[in-house]
Amino acid sequence: MKALRIHALESANVVSKAGCEQLVRLLRSYDETHQVVVLSPLKEEKLELASLLTLAKERDERLWSVQEQRFKAWNGVIESVLPITLSSEVIARIKSGFSDIEDLLRSVWLVEEISEPVVRHTERLVSGWVADLVCHWALFQEIDARIAQYDQLTEALVANHSLLIVYGTLPQGEATNPTEERSEYAASHLAGRFSASGVTFWNNTALLKSADEREVPSAQVIRTLSYSEASELSFFGSPIIDPQALLPAIRREIDVQLRFWGDEEDPGSIVSKEGNGAERDRVKGFSIIRQVALINVEGSGMSGVVGTASRLFSAMRRA
């Protein structure tokens, strides 16, 4: 579907009215008639439920008061974003979810163990609440929206709705830390699967620039770069680029847009097969490495002498 764009977004960005409003503005700024937003697992301290499992495992009596705090926090978020006519449905779903969670917490309390399925179920519940919130806000803004779990997504579902909010257990790149699950790889995979016209990675860090602004205040935003250039920059320390997340898009030659959530006016950077062919030889970025000494050892007596390199590196190790 060439009229399709996939977005990778952190759930924490849209658990407020301002965040939902910004998302709708951004979606309307794109030309594609169909869009999919893939939400990462929520890490917001006041809304996440993973800590409840830990308290239950440790049989900490604070568990039940913290659970009540979480429930009130979620109700507060929903009521602050959605009008009463829409909020009641979402709050009912959250209330049902907390009832399920309470049963799980009692089980964890008894066995003093947290299984992986329990963790996944809890994450899906929370991600589903975020997706439901965003979907109802989009419907309130007269956008044909629907939520869907990642593993239940079909081409027909994508084609029949202007906006899909996707949540659930997301695939991750091989080198991804399990405790830092993100949505970029899943979004890139969906872009390839449905032949999207493009995929956008939203980050909360910064725009992709030619150097670290703290070291080089005049660093410029890199507007275009090739797949290979992006991979090289990631290996040399760029925190904006995840090379694993690029792979599915690279295989299908799909353009990847890197944007900063904190600056919705800036179009960010485009990573494509060719990049900017006219500027192929231009340096796109450089790293600054401190506390490094460059040693040059030379002399005619070194040529062909066995053991020179060994003695050199042994001396450096002892230094």
- pLDDT confidence of residue 277: 61
Beta bridge partners of 203: 260
Query: Per residue in 261-315, pLDDT tens?
Result: 999 999 999 999 988 765 555 666 766 777 787 777 777 666 666 777 788 888 8
The pTM assigned to this predicted structure is 0.86
Average pLDDT for residues 178-189, to the nearest whole number? 84
More confident residue, 196 or 2: 196
Q: Which of 14-18, 212-216, 299-303 has the lowest mean pLDDT?
A: 299-303
* For residue 1, pLDDT beyond 80: no
Asked if the model's pLDDT at residue 98 lies above 90, the reply is yes
Query: Of 157, 163, 183, which Cα lies nearest the Cα of 172?
Result: 183
CA separation for the pair 247, 231 (Å, rounded): 10
Q: Which tens digit of pLDDT belongs to each residue from 50-82?
A: 999 999 999 999 999 999 999 999 999 999 999
Q: What is the pLDDT of residue 212?
A: 78
Domains of the chain, each with CATH number or no CATH: 4-204 (3.40.1160.10)
Query: Per-residue confidence at 177, pLDDT binned at 50, 70, 90?
Result: low
Q: How far apart are CA 165 and CA 135, in angstroms?
A: 7
What phi, psi does 306 have (nearest 5°)?
Answer: -70, 135
Q: How does residue 161 score in pLDDT terms, banded at 50, 70 and 90?
A: very high
Instruction: Report the pLDDT averaged over residues 229-248.
Output: 83
* Percent of the chain residues topping a pLDDT of 90: 69
pLDDT category at 6 given cuts 50, 70, 90 is very high
pLDDT at 103: 93
The whole-chain average pLDDT of the chain stands at 90
Long-range contacts of 279-283 (CB under 8 A, 24+ apart): 279/224, 283/210
What residue type is 103 in one-letter code?
D
Share of the chain above pLDDT 70, in %: 91
